[in-house]
């Protein structure tokens, strides 16, 4: 049986929806992660059904629940859908999940959750100043943190670069589709991260996404003024960050809150 003290995080992705209780002392899962394939199309009601199943089978009674969504989440409502079904736009995700789960639910942008987890437990732990966490995958997700405070919904992958969305040129999916060498991809990434340097003067970049396990092949090629390191939590980060935010909400802490030790 899962201890009531462990909040339950759920990470909604294009191919799978994953959930686990999280031990806030360590940032590790308190029980095995459960994964259910994302329903074809990934529409809101179908996804909510999977979320309800994960909570029913894996979360303790009364445990706080946090769910990530790959889009802008403003006051609980999804405002963008770059890589999910457009029916999510305008969906009150908090109300949707609350109705299906039967308890309060916190909903957060997936990259914000991952970034928060890296700041709390991972590569950016104990880092002061401006930290930008990027996830390089199908698109580019981002989280902006200043002195431990999360500034949500930055969506830096959609900044204009050379007249197009940055993620359409620099995401890992572009590297794979165009069969770019690490060197050629690094040239595009260098342009992207130098743009972020000019805009934000960050103290640290953290690079997540599945491709971060190959960080040694491309990060040293970027030649930036800012220190840049691979993420350490990788595929667990979304679940962990969602659980952290759910626990903080249960304690009355706001979304853009001080990220201190639990």
Q: What domains are there in the chain, each with its CATH number?
A: 8-112+235-250 (3.30.420.40), 126-232 (3.30.420.40)
User: What's the pLDDT at 257?
Assistant: 41
For residue range 55-105, what is the model confidence (pLDDT) as tens digits? 999 999 999 999 999 999 999 999 998 778 999 999 999 999 999 999 999
User: What's the pLDDT at 235?
Assistant: 87
> pLDDT over 90 for what percent of the chain?
86
User: What's the pLDDT at 262?
Assistant: 36
Q: Which of 23-27, 80-84, 211-215, 240-244 has the lowest mean pLDDT?
A: 80-84
- The mean per-residue pLDDT over the stretch 112-123 comes to 95
User: What's the pLDDT at 246?
Assistant: 96
pLDDT at residue 3 tops 70: no
pLDDT at residue 261 tops 80: no
Order of strands across the sheet that contains 130-136: 149-151, 140-146, 130-136, 204-208, 227-230
């Amino acid at each position: 049986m899962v201890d009531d003290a462990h909040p339950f995080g759920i990470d909604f992705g294009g191919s799978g929806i994953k959930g686990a209780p999280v031990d806030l002392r360590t940032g590790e899962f308190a029980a095995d992660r459960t994964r259910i394939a994302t329903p074809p199309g990934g529409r809101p009601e179908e996804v909510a059904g999977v979320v309800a199943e994960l909570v029913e089978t894996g979360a303790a009674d009364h445990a706080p629940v946090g769910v990530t969504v790959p889009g802008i989440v403003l006051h609980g409502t999804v405002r963008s859908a770059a890589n999910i079904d457009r029916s999510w736009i305008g969906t009150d995700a908090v109300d949707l999940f609350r109705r299906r789960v039967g308890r309060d639910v916190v909903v957060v942008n997936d990259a914000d959750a991952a970034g928060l987890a890296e700041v709390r437990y991972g590569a950016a732990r104990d880092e002061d100043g401006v930290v930008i966490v990027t996830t390089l995958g199908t698109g580019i997700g981002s989280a902006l943190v200043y002195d431990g405070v999360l500034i949500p919904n930055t969506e830096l992958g959609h900044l204009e670069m050379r007249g197009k969305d940055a993620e359409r040129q620099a995401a890992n999916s572009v590297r794979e589709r165009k069969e770019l060498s690490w060197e050629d991809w690094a040239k595009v990434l260098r342009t992207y991260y130098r743009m972020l340097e000019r805009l934000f003067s960050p103290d640290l970049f953290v690079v997540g996404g599945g491709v971060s396990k190959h960080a040694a092949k491309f990060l040293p090629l970027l030649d930036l003024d800012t220190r840049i390191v691979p993420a350490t939590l990788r595929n667990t980060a979304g679940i962990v960050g969602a659980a952290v935010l759910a626990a903080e909400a249960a304690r009355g802490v706001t979304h853009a809150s001080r990220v201190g030790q639990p």
